[in-house]
Structure 1
Amino acid sequence: MTLPDLPAARRRLDSALDDLTVVFRGMTAHPDEYNCDCHWGSAEELARLKVADLELDLDLLHRTWQAPDWTDKAAVLRRILPQLASTLVTGRVAETYSDMETIGRAFAFGAWREWPAGQSAAVEEFLGAWWSHTLTDPDPVVPAHDVLVLVTEATGTVRPWLDA
């Protein structure tokens, strides 16, 4: 039995997710990163962000992208990006935490466009692939209007997304 061929947009998205995993493998929060125990989480949870490739539970992932006061926002975003992207695409974020605007701002605050070329290209490809997949999927997991909010906040522009 052969499996049906995946649509091109889905293959592109899967490839972009794989690329994020490869490009950001081994990333951690800065060793001196700190966040308030009473507002963000425990020292044990913070220590998890300083261990590469360790899966975070959904609540910790949420508190991490939502916190605006990281010293090195870029390092924190790079640390969680593969898991965050996968969680976004599967709709697990939208099920529990539907504030796509805040997630998009987390991308923007991480200044991903200023990262080394390979890293910023991987993020840009992920956003474009997710948008393309959302527009071509007859029943997308995350509604197009929610994805549009996220990609617009993440990139600071709506034009290329509407043009697509």
Structure 2
Amino acid sequence: MRLAAPPARRRLDAALDDLSRTFRGMTAHPDEHNCECHWGSAEELALLKTPDVELEPDLLRRAWQAIDWSDHAAVLRRILPQFARSLVAGRAEPLFGLEEAGSCLARGHWQEWPEEHAGPVREFLHAWWARSLTDPDAAVPAHEVLAACAEASGSFTPWLADWERLTGDLSDRRLAETAAEWEYELLGDNMPWSVHFYELDEERMRAELVSWLLGHAAARLRDSGAPTDLQHRIRLLGLTGEARWTDPHWPGHRY
């Protein structure tokens, strides 16, 4: 007997299918160009101007990582269905971190698209994020998905609101894992990754995250039995300057 897929997986599958329907037939701008020496051949560029042709993985990677398209939004719409499935499967292969994929979305200004286009992108991101918190078989770690979603949208707020609603043992473990992954940079008053899209407000985003960690997350870490030293490191985010690094529980980080 075949078991039904978990709800989060069904939601994500539906979101991916909706992206395919929404962006079917899309192409890069007819006049789009890129450097043959550094990006790829004229034949490869022509594929971006041909609708609904599957791209080889390396070509897909070069297409979404390029930052110099004259009409980035059109290129993004052309590759989005395949790009999204690559992200979900953990096959995107960023140079540094998955926030690069979020930066690709941000450069396309997808939130300014008509709702019939922006809506499916928004639902895909929320569905992908929800699966990372609730499905043990999710291919990408939750903190990487959160970085991609926050970078794509320029805010932590909608994703942290989702996290508050998505409770349970697995979601709690993902919270502890993310806090452990990010506490070093946050205690150095940095973002957990180098923000890539120049229009994003790094200080505001970090403040959003720290405020949530000191409030909802701290209580949840305590209630779920997270390691005591991790709880102290999150508590230290509420201190500044000498009070932070002279605290008895300062972990000895050097920056």
> Given the two structures, how large is their TM-score scaled by the length of structure 2?
0.62
Q: 1:157 to 1:86 in 2, by over 3 A?
A: same
For 1:26, the equivalent position in structure 2 comes to 25
Structure 1 spans left out of the alignment, 5+ residues: none
After TM superposition, the structure 1 = structure 2 runs for residues 149-164 of structure 1, keeping only pairs within 5 Å, are 149-164=147-162
Is residue 51 of structure 1 aligned with residue 50 of structure 2? yes
For 2:236, the equivalent position in structure 1 comes to none
Structure 2 spans left out of the alignment, 5+ residues: 163-255
For 1:89, the equivalent position in structure 2 comes to 88
For 2:132, the equivalent position in structure 1 comes to 134
Cα deviation, residue 140, structure 1:
1.9
* Identity value in percent: 59
Q: Relative CO higher for 1 or 2, CA cutoff 8 Å, sep ≥ 6? A: 1
CA RMSD of aligned residues (A): 1.2
The structure 1 segments of at least 4 consecutive aligned residues displaced by more than 4 Å after TM superposition are: none
Partners of 1:155 and 1:49 lie apart in 2 by 25
Cα deviation, residue 27, structure 1:
0.3
Partners of 2:80 and 2:42 lie apart in 1 by 21
Partners of 1:139 and 1:97 lie apart in 2 by 24
Cα deviation, residue 159, structure 1:
1.6
User: Cα deviations across residues 77-113 of structure 1 (Å, max 9, x unaligned)?
Assistant: 000000000111111224x756311111010000101
Equivalent position amino acid for 1:13 in 2: L
Is residue 63 of structure 1 aligned with residue 67 of structure 2? no
Cα deviation, residue 137, structure 1:
0.8
Partners of 1:52 and 1:68 lie apart in 2 by 21
Cα deviation, residue 163, structure 1:
2.2
For 1:36, the equivalent position in structure 2 comes to 35
Partners of 1:34 and 1:82 lie apart in 2 by 22
User: Cα deviations across residues 108-148 of structure 1 (Å, max 9, x unaligned)?
Assistant: 00010111111100000000000001100124210001101
SS at match of 1:104: helix
Return the index of the structure with the highest Cα Rg.
Answer: 2
> Given the two structures, how large is their TM-score scaled by the length of structure 1?
0.95
